[in-house]
Amino acid sequence: MNYDVIVVGGGVSGLIATAYLAKAGRKVLLCEKESTLGGLVNSFERDGFIYDGGIRAMENSGVLFPMLKHLGLEIEFVRNHISIGIEDRVIRVEREEDLADYQALLSRFYPDSEAEIDAITAQLKLIMHYMKVQYGINNPIFLDMKQDREYMLKKVLPWMVQYLRTVSKITALNMPVVDFLKRYTHNQSLLDIICQHFFQETPAFFALSYLKLYLDYHYPLGGTGKFVEKLVAFIQAHQGSIRTQTEIRRVDPQNRRLTDAQGNTYGYKRLIWAADLKSLYRLVDLEQISSAQVKTAISERASAIMDKTGNDSVYTLYLGVALDKETFASQHSEHFFYTPSRAGQSQAGPIPRHAGREVIEKWLQQFLALTTYEISIPVMRDSSLAPAGKTGLIISLLFDYQLTRLAADQGWYEDFKTICEECILDALEASIYPGIRQAILHRFSATPLTMEKFTSNTEGAITGWAFSNHPMPAESRLPRIMNAIKTPVPGVYQAGQWTYSPSGLPISILTGKLAADRAIKELGKARR
């Protein structure tokens, strides 16, 4: 079967690209190796509880809502409220002015660093202003130049002037957040508390904008998987084709053909790769390419990314408990960042990536008592997401892939998961949730290996490339995001979390749309 465009990878970026191609009337096929679509955006059911398997809420950033409007998709969202807690103190973040409460929270636990906290707070306030500028409009990529002409003239053009004035200041913050904060404090525990729920070497601007981002989170009623359901229905309504359980094993750019694991072949005029980027370069058949120049360009790009690492993954504990949602609502919001100890996770020492079981167990006990947990409670947003009088909790933390792989290679992976579950419960029961063990109806967990299995992402990464990669193997300058979708492989574009850094849902949406637009434009030229 031959297609105008084939999209490989059924995560958000692949679904967006396919939706726009189908809308444009192109013959498009989406191939996904798993049985389900959505990648890191999905929901699933367990014993009557609905859990989100990937992201816990959805950031708009001037992208999500304009895209839905542009496609004519209707999804009911509710505001996703955030709380932050340390030990026995919890604050709610519902407006910009709540930054003062965050400042007071830090000052309570680190009174000897109050002047330093004041200086850091001033920087947070400044970065919040930069965020207002960067995401202060609906992204123009989703505008119609004819229908939205007034918005372009009155909103977009003045914004562009303001953005150009600000972009250099944003670029100056493109340094690891810890390095930036060390200008203001050397209190390691304070640094940990501010930074330990970020990836290693997260750029300062991206990291310190989180309080502003918290105000821009929304939750689709029915769970995050509703977003995927709507996109799939749209694609099918516009005669787009979707094949799940279809793993691509060979890419032949010379003849514009793909081969799957069953030996089926598919022809394409353009290919959009929205899957793990390393896999593209493993699968490209260089022998079939006649141009030595093209071969060299592909080989050089492959060499540039194959030794690069993905960002941290996550460990997630799912709990179904015989407690009503009001039990938790009295303590915090539906989306809760909680740290059980002010000491900071550095107290646990470095990750023991080359140790035996005994050393790893001891480290886990220390680390999991100190780290920051992201706790999401779907039923607090939508009462239909758990049985009456019961609550499902999603408790996650950033976690090292290599440590998990080491435990699996040593033959104690299941014990490793059990130890992590017990340590997490110990930490939370001793602090914010006393007695929660007695209320547990079911529990299960997912590790970085789980993320790797179901997404095929390098090292189970959840936001693309690690910030510790030097050089970064992706575009990281927003004004140049149009270039992020290009590859040296003829007729092939890339989309998704590996195309641009820092990544996330808005970037996946943007790059999916940009790749589709490029393919549509080129096919239009070819047709004439």
Angle between helices 99-109 and 114-134 (to 10 degrees): 150
pLDDT (0 to 100) of residue 149? 77
Which tokens is 424 given? 């997490």
3-state secondary structure of 35: coil
Q: What does the pLDDT look like over 422-462, one tens digit per residue?
A: 999 999 999 999 999 999 999 999 999 999 999 989 999 99
**Residues 6+ positions from 237 with CB-CB distance below 8 Å:** none
Q: Which residues pair with 493 in a beta bridge?
A: 272, 486
What residue ranges define each of the domains in the chain, with the CATH number in brackets?
Answer: 2-37+224-308+471-527 (3.50.50.60), 97-207 (no CATH), 312-458 (no CATH)
pLDDT (0 to 100) of residue 526? 55
3-state secondary structure of 37: coil
pLDDT (0 to 100) of residue 525? 61
Q: Is the dihedral of CA 495, 500, 505, 509 positive or negative?
A: negative
413, 449 Cβ separation under 8 angstroms:
yes
Residue 334 is classified by DSSP as: S
pLDDT (0 to 100) of residue 197? 87
pLDDT (0 to 100) of residue 144? 76
Q: Is the dihedral of CA 345, 349, 353, 355 positive or negative?
A: negative
Q: Which residues of the chain have pLDDT under 70?
A: 145, 525-528
Residue 233 is classified by DSSP as: H
pLDDT (0 to 100) of residue 210? 87
Q: What does the pLDDT look like over 322-366, one tens digit per residue?
A: 999 999 999 999 999 999 999 999 999 999 999 999 999 999 999
Distance CA 244, CA 252 (A): 21
Model pTM score: 0.95
